[in-house]
Chains A and B, each alone.
Chain A
């Protein structure tokens, strides 16, 4: 297994005069293998984007070191740039140029001779099925169309490693599925992928391994399944009409042998158990006997959100838009 990204104590502190320095990334050690789809998952402001911007040579680290596609991040930026592709959150299509013109410029900047650049761009437009609007200016595109073009611009030069910064933020479900499909296809063709996301489903659907990022640090790392196994089992949510009923239920279930962990959240009680479907009838009986039967019951397998909640005490999407 060859590493395509390897970082040691990678750090970034932003200093703005007259304000307290912000430690956006704090000493990150990370190894990503060639061929992986690796995801950084975390809420907005966790430091994911800063981490990615350092690794794709857009931002100088304040401390630590890293190699990307085998080259040193500090001294061999030009070599790194030749082998990586990057699709930022904003995409960066020139608005009054056509999609094809944008791709041509990109190909020429990667030092392709003009004829080869034209062939490559034509083939890419064909393969991604973009011919219908490739010759319209990009300001006429829908969000989904533009995103596929952003992606195309990122892979014009067939990079070994592709960086995607929140590739589907703000897209409709259909466009999101399309982006996922293309990312999976690129990876199947041999491109390593490094992405950031604050969508659990995205990390779950795409990534072989996920690093959960909080306050500039990696707080957990593993495959989505491994991470979910770290969480105490399944989650039962008992819904009540008021907080005092939740308190009563919590008191009753305290000390119950099947209960691993409990958490009060508003008018509901979240109970973590090893085997949800086996534990549920018994717990329902206990609550019924004590005259605090819940209004609603919900059984959920652990999600990455639970992992995040367990590790940080906060939910992942608390500060971003609800899905």
Chain B
């Protein structure tokens, strides 16, 4: 565990010195908040809109979306570390592979929590009303999603070895996952087929839960569903990442 902490600390130190990654992730959600959320205001009055206003609808999903994107692209930083030989240097030390994997995931989670706090503050400025207890639970859900996405991205990074291929795979999967999650527009507006497919997207549960949590509806059934789904996915993805870390990395 000390090893995982050492790696995470070192990674954070490096991230802070080179804050590009920290803010690259934030730029996109902030643009959505500033440019897209106001567009939703016109839709918010439509019958069947599942929130009292646009920001209350969009901000919770934005946190999920940020977790999806920010952690989902972590693999690129790992590929740099393969390229520089840094990962190889670590793999010859007595550090065990689980600690090594956890170290990278921990770093990505810390970054994600920081980004989420920034986004929450920005959303409050845009008029979000937030239940404090719900917000804490939501942060936990965000971290679970972060662990899932970062582990998958790290695993793909080690498998593909090549930035171009990694970008292709990542973009192919992230966009449909995002749209079907209902972050942008209520899935209930869509035809039945979309509504059905949407239920296959684990992020749709996370987005539902996020909205409930922000509103303080802590007993909403979507919350345990989202947590169950992402505890399982996070464990599975982390296990995959540890396994690929054990195998050869050139």
Contacts and interface: CB of A to CB of B under 8 A. Distances in A.
B248 A60 contact: yes
Given A58-B248, A81-B93, A108-B6, A101 B13 contact: yes
Interface in A71-104: 78, 81-82, 84-86, 88-97, 101
B13 A59 contact: no
A303 interface: no
Given A97-B13, A109-B94, A92 B88 contact: yes
B47 to A, nearest CB: 53
Contact of A105 (B10, B85, B91): B10
Interface in B60-95: 83-95
A90 B92 contact: no
Contact of B93 (A60, A93, A101, A106): A106
Contacts of B86: 92-94
A137 B95 CA distance: 24
B17 interface: yes
Contact of B89 (A78, A86, A108): A86
B84 A110 contact: no
Interface of B is mostly: helix
24 contacts: A57-B92, A58-B88, A78-B94, A81-B92, A84-B92, A85-B92, A86-B92, A88-B88, A88-B89, A90-B84, A90-B88, A91-B85, A91-B89, A92-B84, A92-B85, A92-B86, A94-B10, A95-B84, A97-B13, A101-B13, A105-B10, A106-B89, A109-B95, A137-B17
Interface residues of B, number: 23
B248 A81 contact: no
B7 to A, nearest CB: 8
Contacts of A110: 93-94
Nearest to A105: B10
Given A89-B85, A92-B85, A58 B92 contact: yes
Interface of A: 53, 56-60, 78, 81-82, 84-86, 88-97, 101, 105-106, 108-111, 137, 153
A153 B92 contact: no
B225 to A, nearest CB: 38
B12 to A, nearest CB: 11
B199 to A, nearest CB: 34
B6 A90 contact: no
Contacts of A58: 88, 91-92, 248-249
Given A105-B6, A109-B3, A81 B88 contact: no
A96 B6 contact: no
Contacts of B87: 92
A218 B84 CA distance: 30
